[in-house]
Amino acid sequence: MGLIELASGNSVWRGMDYYKNKKVRSWKKTGEETYDGIVSGSDGNSYSVHIDKLHPRKSNCNCPFAAGRRVICKHMIALYFTAEPTVVDEFLKKVEEWEKEEEEEERQHFEELREYVNSLSKVELQEQLYNALVELEDRRNGYW
């Protein structure tokens, strides 16, 4: 797993925001697959960041979220995107593909739902509607 896969969704998107807003003040390649940098934080502080692409859990940042923990923070993602901007395009392309797949699955689900509803007799449809309304009331009222 890479840095993006190990980061929370929040860290990835906040890191993307930091990348776009040029919060990475300086960076350098320190090895074949490693980078060090200084990233401005939301609180006005600057954080020292080290990322290791081959061993993402060896990456570190001295921000309050990641200090002393083996987690991927927004500062690490911002540095990664800054050092390797082609990764941003690849990531956004994957997100777009995933969203299209989700939309297609949702479309298919609703199509199957419509087919199911159309296959019901009037009595079956009334019973299904009644059960759905009762369940909706239960949820709204916190299950009597």
pLDDT of residue 143 exceeding 70? no
Tens of pLDDT along 88-101?
999 999 999 999 99
Of the pLDDT bands very low, low, confident and very high (cuts 50, 70, 90), residue 144 is low
DSSP-derived 3-state class of residue 48: strand
Which pLDDT tens digit goes with each residue over 25-47? 999 999 999 999 999 998 889 99
> Averaged over 121-144, what is the pLDDT?
88
Going by C-beta distance under 8 Å and a sequence separation of 6 or more, which residues neighbour residue 27?
A: 35, 36, 37, 38, 79, 82, 83
Residue 139 above 90 pLDDT?
no
Task: Give the mean pLDDT of 40-55.
Answer: 94
Q: How confident is the model at residue 141 (pLDDT cuts 50, 70, 90)?
A: confident
pLDDT at 130: 94
For the CA atoms of 22, 23, 26, 27, the dihedral, rounded to the nearest 10 degrees, stands at -90
**What are 66-82's pLDDT values in tens digits?**
999 999 999 999 999 99
Percent of the chain at pLDDT above 70? Answer: 99
DSSP H or E stretch at residue 37: strand 34-40
Residue pair 65/71 in contact (Cβ under 8 Å)? The answer is: yes
